[in-house]
Amino acid sequence: MHHVLITHGESGRSRVGASRFARNMASLQGQFEVPYGIGGPPTMFTIPTLRYMQTHGVTEEDLARVAVVQRQWAAMNPRASYRDPLSLDDVLNSEMIAWPFRKLMCCLVTDGGGALILTSAERARDFPQKPVYVLGTGESTETPMISQMEDFTSSRAFRVSGALAFKEAGIRQADVDHLMIYDAFAHLPLYGLEDLGFCEPGEAKHFYRDGLTAPGGKLPLNTNGGGLSYMHSGMYGMYALQEGVRQMRGIAPAQVEGAKISVCHGVGGMFAASGTVIFGNEAV
């Protein structure tokens, strides 16, 4: 068994060593998307959302509520970038970025980094830190062109990677105590809840309206404050994984009491790809 060190570091805010987002105007995206004024993730990752909102009766207030709830979690995390309480009005009156998305529905841009050690359960047994077990994983891709996504109300990559991870772990959604869904923008936890099978299409808004994902709720989601309030260096997957690990060790700042299973869902290239990891602790 090899031991693997997984590291990630990124100067998203200070831009040390960062290269400019290069665009090849002969690529399919360069020919058929860039000429229409896509300016990066805020105008690409967000394009499907209006169709999702109209299909399922999701309002701008529902998007704002995702940011409000995540700020409630961030308030408990001393490392979070923003911890002051937010109201729906604060979010709905923040600067317009790409309607229907306002500034406080978009992730932060910070510096950051993290590391994880992956090894065998046997080798981890006498580590000074409590081990966390990988119960299942899944990966998938769809299309690198946001305009060519099959269905704007659901991510095929999310559905496939989630189903693979749940199958390998041999668990059901009802077994999950803690959930992380990469929130580059406020619509992603809504898509994630539905595409990972926690509810039917269109029902995720009720998880937020009913407080199920908030502190004290039945399905604590993005308990570090997420990309919207904790931090986001550009690629956030490492930090979502680390919060899942902390929750499984019982050492998270906003610890979910008795949590035994954590699902962590990441995105890549916006809706182009996704990965799902299911963690468990010694109690599983």
Partner 1 sequence: MPNDQRPLPTPTPETAHFWEGCKAGELRLQRCTGCDGSYFPPRPFCPACGSRDVEVYAASGKASLYSYVINHRPPPGFGSDPYAIAVVTLAEGPRMMTNIVESPQTPEALKLDMPLTVTFEAFGEIALPFFKPAGV
Active site residues: 182, 230
Q: Supply the minimum distance, in Å, between the C-beta of residue 63 and partner 1.
A: 12
> Least Å distance between CB 222 and partner 1?
23
DSSP 8-class letter at 94: S
Do the beta carbons of residue 189 and residue 264 sit within 8 Å?
no
Length of the chain: 284
- Token readout for 178 is 């803690």
Nearer to partner 1, 100 or 275 (CB): 100
- Closer to partner 1 by Cβ: residue 241 or 267: 267
Closest separation in Å from C-beta 225 to partner 1: 24
Cβ proximity of 270 and 45 under 8 Å: yes
Q: Long-range contact list for 249-253, CB < 8 A, 24+ apart?
A: 249/129, 249/130, 249/132, 249/281, 250/130, 250/281, 252/223, 252/224, 253/76, 253/77, 253/78, 253/79, 253/224
Residue closer to partner 1 (CB basis): 4 or 26: 26
* Residue 191 or 230 having the CB closest to partner 1: 191
- Nearer Cβ to partner 1 (93/148): 148
- Distance from C-alpha of 171 to C-alpha of 158, rounded to nearest angstrom: 17
Q: How far is the CB of 101 from partner 1 (least distance, A)?
A: 7
**Helix H or strand E encompassing 54:** helix 49-56
- Min dist CB 23 to partner 1, Å, is 7
Shortest distance (Å) from residue 158 CB to partner 1: 17
Binding site for partner 1 (CB under 8 A): 23, 25-26, 28, 30-40, 42-43, 46-51, 54, 95-101, 145-148, 152
Q: Count CA atoms within 13 Å of residue 242 on its CB side.
A: 18
For residue 198, give the DSSP letter. S
Which amino acid, residue 64?
A: A
Q: Which residues pair with 280 in a beta bridge?
A: 133, 261
Write the CB contacts of 47 (distance below 8 Å, at least 6 apart in sequence): 146, 147, 152
Contacts of 174 (CB under 8 A, 6+ apart): none
Beta carbon nearer to partner 1, 25 or 174: 25
